[in-house]
Every structure is written in C-alpha cells, then in structure tokens.
C-alpha cells in the first residue's frame, strides 16, 4: 500500500503528496495521501475533506477503494478529466487508506476465506478504535437543556486522559482532526450495506436502539443520501441486505437507531471540530476476495466523487477585523440550528446548509456581532465552477 501511494504521489507531484499522521502500536506509518492544486498548504477559502479506511483491520474493502480512488484522481487529472480537475483545484482532499495497519496484517494472514468477522478488527492493543475516542456525546446530552451551553468544539475531559487506554492510532487521528479545517469526512467500513450518520450514541444511554439526531439532522441525511443514491445498489429496494433492512430508508440510517455505542469517531468529529462525518458500510463481506475488489470500485466510484463534491454546498467566507485581517476562532451560527462552527486559522469558514433562507451571525470576543440574511440555492454541478456563496463579515 505504501509503495502504491508514494508512486501515485510521485506521478502527480504537482497535485499530490504523501505524509504520515502518526504510527501504529507496532510502529507502522499511518500514511495519508493528499490531493490539491497546492499540496502541503491550506489555501484560503478552500474546503478540506478526509476519507478513512480500514479502521477495523478486518474490514478491508474500504482500504482498497481508497487506494483505487487515489490512483483514479491522479490519472484522470493528468488525462484532463474536467470534473476531476475541478474537484482537485477547488478542494483539499486527504485520504488515509488504513487507520489500523496492525489489525489488517492479522486479518490478511488468515485471508478472505474466514470472511474477516473477528480476527484483526481491533488494533495490536486489542482496542476497538471506534470505541476509543472521547465520549463527548454524553456531555452534549447533559448540557443541552441549558440555554447557553457550548454546542461545538466541546473540550476533551481530563478523565479521558487519565482513565482510558488511548490507542496511538486514535491519538494520531485526533491530532489530525485538530490540525486541519476538515468540513466533511467518510469512514469506510464493512458488514452491512448502508450509510450511518450521527449521533451514534443514544440520547438515553440504556437504549440500545433509539433515534438520536444531531441539530444538523437534515444536513447529515442529505450527505448520507448523496453517497447512497450515487452508489450502484445501496438505495435500491431489491438489493440483498446483510441482516438489517434499510431499503425502505433509502440505504441510510441514524447510527443510534441502528445500534448505540459511545466513543465513536463520527460523534467526536461533530462535537470537537467543524467536521461532519458519515460511516459508509460497503457490504456484507468484510474481507472480499481479490476478484471482487475492482467491481466494488465501480459500484462506489460515483458515490465517492459525489460525496467529495458535497463539500461545496452551503456558504463559505472570511471573518475579518477592521484592518482586513482574518479572525481565528470566530463563531458562525445559523438561526434555528443549535450547532455552531468556528473560523479557521486565517478567519475562513465553511457552513454546510440546505437550500433556503438563513440568518447567519458571526461573533468573536472583543468584536460586535454581525448578522446577515441570504438564500442558499440548490446544488448543480458545473464544470470548473462551484455554486457556494461567499460571505464576508
């Protein structure tokens, strides 16, 4: 995998580079590949996205799909594919094919005959990485009855650091999230055919299955539907499922309504950063055979591209002071939505919104609040153009 990613980045060095976000328990690099018209740098107003595979080491299809995606982005950009060039020229894309390389090696040593249901799921410490993140969802539930509670960038409690064994892979991803202004994310898994979106932890902890929406329920549903509808079969009523039935929901589900768990990565993204993450369950077979991999890529290719384009829905802008300097950490709030985002290092921001009229307010310590009204229009993909509205305070 590492050699393929490095060769791909070398082939497209003007738009790509590889870098490590950290190391696994056994010292393997958590290698990511980036695509951008200015790799290695954040461009003002350019949104950033991430795609993560193989969080559970025995769920290998996502790992291979993201390798295919990296190769596809490189080759199609060089061939002059206008859609791919537009995506890369307007978006900074980060791809981490394997978050759990130690677990993958265990699963791969057994091969696909065992369907990958047990061995290799956890990391080398026998920790499930998707239960190892700080449980900020409980904090959110406990505080939401208060009028002025903090609904974004909830701090990690001290008890997390002192009472929990933290996997190096988890820690690396948390640092990665804090280092980049990610707007959307997808974590690729296996074992079912559905898109799951937050919250993953039930608003009543004793309930194993309970619909538990975030304040951005409609945005998350649209993000999930974007992937499911563009997938070859995920939203089809006649598609064979793996036990659960999501066809009547269009191939999407609220995570806690499916099954509830604490310490998940998607809830952490939403409550600790500006990032909206969905979980993509790619199919029943967690460890498909080699001959199945490329057909699965063809089934998922359009969904992955449509997902990446989704980041350009809504508004983006810069919050500036009287001297024209960007203000870091300003709060961007939308009337009627109890979840705010904050501006990045240079004062730029991206707020996912569905079409309609919205009142948006920018606020920062030491400055007067400013509110503006605007109408968000439906999304249409146009060559070399993104529709989102620029909004300056």
Query: Which domains are assigned to the chain?
Result: 2-312 (3.40.630.10), 315-392 (2.60.40.1120)
Mean pLDDT of 243-260: 87
Judge contact between 258 and 202, C-beta under 8 A. no
Say what the pLDDT of residue 114 is: 62
Count, residues in the chain: 393
- Please tell me what DSSP assigns to residue 261: -
The pLDDT-based confidence of 116 (bands split at 50, 70, 90) is low
120 closest CA partner among 131, 106, 133 = 106
Say what the pLDDT of residue 94 is: 99
Say what the pLDDT of residue 382 is: 43
90 closest CA partner among 315, 389, 385 = 385
52 closest CA partner among 166, 181, 187, 193 = 187
Say what the pLDDT of residue 97 is: 99
Percent of the chain residues topping a pLDDT of 90: 82
Say what the pLDDT of residue 138 is: 96
Cα→Cα distances 50→93, 196, 216, Å: 6, 17, 19
Contacts of 64 (CB under 8 A, 6+ apart): 53, 97, 293, 296, 297
In this predicted structure, which of 44-48, 102-106, 356-360, 377-381 has the lowest mean pLDDT? 377-381
Say what the pLDDT of residue 388 is: 45
pLDDT at 90 over 70: yes
Average pLDDT, the chain: 92
Contacts of 241 (CB under 8 A, 6+ apart): 192, 193, 247, 284
Angle at 91 between CA 223 and CA 375, to 5 degrees: 55
In this predicted structure, which of 17-31, 240-254, 264-278 has the lowest mean pLDDT? 240-254
Say what the pLDDT of residue 386 is: 38
pLDDT at 363 over 50: yes
Provide the token pair at 5: 């990613």
Helices (H) and strands (E) in the chain, counts: 11, 15
Tell me whether strands 48-53 and 182-189 are parallel, antiparallel or unpaired: parallel
Provide the token pair at 307: 């997902």
Angle at 50 between CA 356 and CA 135, to 5 degrees: 85
Cα→Cα distances 264→150, 256, 261, 347, Å: 20, 11, 7, 29
In this predicted structure, which of 64-68, 78-82, 246-250, 361-365 has the lowest mean pLDDT? 246-250
Cα→Cα distances 117→60, 100, 194, 221, Å: 11, 15, 18, 28
The pLDDT-based confidence of 387 (bands split at 50, 70, 90) is very low
pLDDT at 128 over 50: yes
Percent of the chain residues topping a pLDDT of 70: 93
pLDDT at 384 over 50: no
Q: Residue 95 and residue 182: Cα distance in Å, rounded? A: 12
Say what the pLDDT of residue 246 is: 79
The pLDDT-based confidence of 231 (bands split at 50, 70, 90) is very high
In this predicted structure, which of 59-73, 170-184, 187-201, 228-242 has the lowest mean pLDDT? 228-242
Say what the pLDDT of residue 377 is: 75
Judge contact between 53 and 62, C-beta under 8 A. yes
Q: Residue 63 and residue 105: Cα distance in Å, rounded? A: 12
The pLDDT-based confidence of 380 (bands split at 50, 70, 90) is low
* 237 vs 311, residue with greater confidence: 311
Judge contact between 227 and 307, C-beta under 8 A. yes
pLDDT at 151 over 90: no
Say what the pLDDT of residue 27 is: 97
Q: Residue 106 and residue 198: Cα distance in Å, rounded? A: 30
The pLDDT-based confidence of 240 (bands split at 50, 70, 90) is low
Mean pLDDT of 362-374: 93
Say what the pLDDT of residue 243 is: 72
In this predicted structure, which of 141-145, 152-156, 284-288 has the lowest mean pLDDT? 141-145
pLDDT at 383 over 50: no
- How do residues 352-361 score in pLDDT, each as one tens digit? 999 899 999 9
Active-site positions read 281
Tell me whether strands 389-392 and 315-318 are parallel, antiparallel or unpaired: parallel
- Please tell me what DSSP assigns to residue 335: T
Is residue 303 classed as helix, strand or coil in its secondary structure? helix
* 378 vs 167, residue with greater confidence: 167
Q: Residue 106 and residue 28: Cα distance in Å, rounded? A: 14
- How do residues 200-226 score in pLDDT, each as one tens digit? 999 988 889 999 999 999 999 999 999
Say what the pLDDT of residue 241 is: 67
């Amino acid at each position: 995998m590492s050699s393929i990613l490095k060769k791909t980045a070398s082939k497209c060095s003007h738009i790509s580079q590889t870098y490590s976000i950290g190391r696994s328990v056994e010292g393997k690099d958590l290698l990511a590949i980036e695509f951008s018209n200015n790799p290695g740098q954040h461009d003002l107003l350019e949104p950033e996205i991430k795609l993560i595979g193989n969080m559970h080491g025995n769920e290998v299809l996502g790992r291979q799909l993201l390798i295919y995606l990296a190769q596809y982005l490189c080759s199609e950009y060089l061939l002059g594919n206008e859609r791919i060039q537009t995506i890369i020229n307007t978006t900074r894309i980060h791809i981490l094919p394997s978050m759990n390389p130690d677990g993958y090696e265990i699963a791969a040593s057994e091969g696909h005959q065992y369907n990958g249901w047990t061995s290799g799921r956890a990391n080398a410490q026998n920790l499930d990485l998707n239960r190892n993140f700080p449980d900020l969802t409980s904090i959110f539930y406990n505080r939401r009855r208060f009028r002025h509670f903090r609904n974004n960038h909830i701090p990690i409690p001290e008890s997390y650091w002192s009472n929990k064994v933290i996997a190096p892979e988890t820690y690396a991803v948390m640092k990665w999230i804090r280092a980049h202004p990610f707007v959307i994310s997808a974590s690729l898994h296996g074992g079912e055919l559905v898109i799951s979106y937050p919250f993953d932890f039930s608003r009543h902890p004793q309930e194993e299955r309970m619909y538990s929406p975030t304040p951005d329920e409609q945005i998350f549903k649209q993000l999930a539907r974007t992937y499911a509808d563009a997938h070859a079969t995920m939203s089809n009523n006649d598609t064979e499922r793996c036990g659960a039935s999501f066809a009547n929901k269009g191939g999407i589900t609220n995570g806690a309504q499916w099954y509830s768990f604490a310490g998940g990565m998607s809830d952490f993204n939403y409550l600790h950063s500006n990032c909206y993450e969905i979980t993509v369950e790619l199919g029943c077979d967690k460890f498909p055979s080699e001959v199945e991999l490329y057909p699965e890529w063809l089934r998922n290719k359009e969904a992955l591209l449509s997902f990446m384009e989704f980041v350009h829905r809504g508004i983006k802008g810069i919050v500036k002071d009287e001297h024209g300097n960007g203000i870091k950490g300003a709060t961007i709030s939308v009337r009627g939505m109890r979840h705010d985002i904050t501006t990045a290092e240079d004062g730029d921001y991206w707020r996912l919104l569905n079409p309609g009229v919205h009142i948006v307010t920018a606020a920062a310590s030491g400055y007067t609040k400013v509110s503006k009204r605007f109408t968000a229009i439906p999304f249409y993909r146009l060559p070399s153009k993104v529709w989102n509205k620029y909004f300056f305070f």
